[in-house]
Structure 1
Amino acid sequence: MVRAIAVILVLIVCAGAAGAARVLLDDGSYIHGEVLRVSGTKTLIQTSGPDGTGLVWIESAKIKGTQPEPPGTADALATIEELIGRGQLTDALERLDLLMRREPAHVDVTLFYARTLRKAWKFRASLFLYEQLIAGSSSPQLDVLQEAAETAVLASLEKEADVAIKRFKSAAKQNRDLQKYADALRTQLKGGARVVIPNPSSDAKSREELAEDRAKYESDDGDCYLSALVAARLLGALKSAYSTIPIRVQVTALVQDSVRDEYRKGGDEAAFIAAVKRVRLLVSVDDEAWITMYDWRKHSFLLQCLFTVAATYTAAAVDLTILRGKPDPRVVQTKELATANIASDQQTKMTLMTPRNRDLARDAQLREYERQRTELEEKMK
């Protein structure tokens, strides 16, 4: 015990000297904050994050050390928060995705990402991150349990919501008001009165300012600012992966004109995304290069197109057509080289309209791999 306390005291000194720090836990995760003091077998940590500071007690035996916060994480979160404040949820989510890849175990980044996804009406993805946070904590905070339950209800996932509500209600057993709220969540889940609604995106910019921003797009690339942004992003990614094969991308959200006009005038971006149920995606390619490309690479190309668009238009099915030449639906002589579709449930279909072009060397490698795997399984029986 004396040795454990001595170690923690060293951690206190290190954390205080380093400023912003991480407290490393034995399960591989960490808490963004500083060790304040030790009391018996527990250690008091002052946490910090996008929503301010807090205090949490942790079993001393679970703490493995501290390390300085990598430079840039706090600044990155602050920048992302500014983007959200300006109503730029799509850009904010892109940056959060990159930050999450860099800091997969960062509790504050994960929580911030979960809350931002919820704000963008991406409830399933948000719930996944909440569950990840809860599973990685021996004593998850009550507000996180509550938000997870709310998000599961908003996602209309009955099984997951039932578990989340029970967990939240159990943790809030000393709070009568929260007990009643948990019961109300269950009522909403079963089609009753709504006690939790999707959070509208925060628009620090006025509608006029947003409308001015959204007027700046190329109509040949998309039907609105967001579609043109997705088209530009996809074209850049395709050129990076496939060089000169992709030529042009056009994204069209098939939605009522009144809904599109509301978005163009500065309306809520998340509401617009939720209203789009189908997207038309046209991609023109160098047809000679396309024909010579192996079929498995064509399939990869199609999937990248589908999932890139579906990542933004999360409630929509995406219909993709690969065209020879400029992707202009008015040019009837344009030849289709391939079609693909991703449904709202993520099921995909792909059709190539060019002669088969198998990668025989790759096929042979795959057959050899399968043979070796089968042999290994037989030996292990």
Structure 2
Amino acid sequence: MTDLDALPLRPELRGRTPYGAPQLKVTHRLNTNENPYPLPAELLADLGTALAEASRELNRYPDRDAVGLRADLATYLTRTSGERIEAGQVWAANGSNEVLQQLLQTFGGSGRTALGFTPSYSMHPIISAGTGTAWVDGHRRADFTIDAAAAVAQVREVRPDVVFVTSPNNPTGTAVALETIAELYDATDGVLIVDEAYAEFAREGTPSALTLLPGRPRLVVSRTMSKAFGMAGLRLGYLAADAAVVDALQLVRLPYHLSSLTQAAARTALAHTPALLATVEAVKVERDRIVAALPAMGLTSVPSDANFVLFGRFADAAAAWQALLDRDVLVRDVGLPGWLRVTAGTPVETDAFLTALGEVAPEFRASLGD
């Protein structure tokens, strides 16, 4: 078999590894931030009908511009954010990763730079590399928050073409203040992308960056149906921005990139929004339950506005991860020394996690002096 060294691979891709969380057969999979609740029966019934109807015209190309879907997404965003979003301001693709890829194809590329405040979503630098965009790590405080003044100074120094802000941040979980986002926007001449994949899980009173869109034509807010909507298998991501950004993306999007079946399934799911989002509050209860249980184990967490918790500190996070796996609980080792990340699951999954963690913590937690 030929290995990569024998292929004419682009130099900036050599030595890299693919993105991917471990896919292991365990009882409690709490490592990929999925919504743990199955789709409601009434949605499944309507999906069957909608997909059967869409299948009648699979010999034809889908709606290239996904007009109906974008209108439905605009209605959802308007209703939940309080900010008027028009269909022309919305774009959809196969997962938010494709949305981000299209943005970097449009505004990044050879000779251009993207900056993100790490640790953050690890796909941002990967997609940047895939589009030939240089990547610069932005700085965070020791508590993983963004120091607005320092971030603004770095943006002005680097002058990136694309700036990423993940809010709530992944893997740390905390939302970014709108004042910080606005300051970063003013500091750059490039495009500012606010990745809001977990926005629906934010704590009460946490506003969306959607409210900042008016008057900011270089601001983009990306979302997904994978998390709060519980449709990770659908692969539907979307963004809201100035309509000119949407026009620009159509210069690079592949023709007919969203299948007829994907569009039909997403529109059907949006028609069931109240039932799907009802699970969000249940997940938040489990998230907060995890946070509350940690101090009694000698552990702590980063404040979370997402459906996961970054928890520690461990003297050896990798060993703690393995010890939890040995107890049939899979969490995520995100590569931050001393920390692990757990998805908030069902009450049964939380029980299993907390029981396993209670057994693991005494051996692997860091001492107070560490």
Normalised TM-score (structure 1): 0.24
Higher Rg: 1
Q: Which has the higher contact order (CA 8 A, sep 6+)?
A: 2
Question: Quick check: which one's helix share is greater?
Answer: 1
